Structure 1
Amino acid sequence: MSKKIWTKEKIDVLKMYLDVGATYGEIAQKLGLTYDQVEHTVRRYRLKPKTITINPNKVKPKDRDKIIISSLKNKLSNVVPYPPSKQDKLDKKAKQVIEEAEKINKESDELLDRTEGLFEWIK
């Protein structure tokens, strides 16, 4: 059974953030929750996020671009990256093995150079 995280006070805080036009991502970050938890709670308690209607004829093209970019940033901030694949892990391990082999090869070359110098000195 899951622990209840939504107290009356927390729901009131959520409503306050929605009233000022905060996005689900911003609310989640401020409350230490996930985007999905906030979205689900808004649906569950039938809360209404504040929608901002903009008349496109009254917005300058430069400002329109800023609005679009801001909206896309909010949506993209909620994208969860894919976990690394097995191939990525194998590639990383292979790179480590190659680096270790190169290090050993370099050390053996240095050792061989020193021993050759030693043998010439003995002759």
Structure 2
Amino acid sequence: MLQGIHHIAIISSDYKTSKHFYTEILGLDIIREVYREERNSYKLDLALNGVYVIELFSFPNPPKRTSRPEATGLRHLAFAAENLDVYIEQLSKNKIKIEGIRIDEHTGKRFTFFSDPDDLPIELYEI
């Protein structure tokens, strides 16, 4: 029986830039970083509030995302946030372009989108 989501894997086109984005801008913690010489690839395990959530990979010359966000596969990554305004201010200070705040018509909760360095859509959903 499934117990929950273990992690989400993301492939970056520029490992150093994506590592900075996920750790320094979004504030995820590094659990471990491994360079896999046989694949010429890094694997970075990241945690949020002590919970392992993301594997960030680098591979030589990965293909670009086909469209945004309605490509087959992962549509977007969503994080729960207690105060959307605090995160919007932090992202803006780091020159991250943020879409306008929307209201979930079913819950009345606020949410917004921005993108990681490879244009993967990321949602902040206020809880």
Instruction: Assess same fold via TM > 0.5.
Output: no
Greater RCO (Cα-Cα under 8 Å, separation 6 or more)? 2
**TM-score bracket for this pair, using the shorter chain length:** under 0.3
TM-score by length of 2: 0.24
Structure richer in strand, relative to its length: 2
Please say which structure displays the higher CA radius of gyration: 1
Q: Tell me the TM-score normalized by structure 1.
A: 0.24
Instruction: Name whichever structure is richer in helix by fraction.
Output: 1
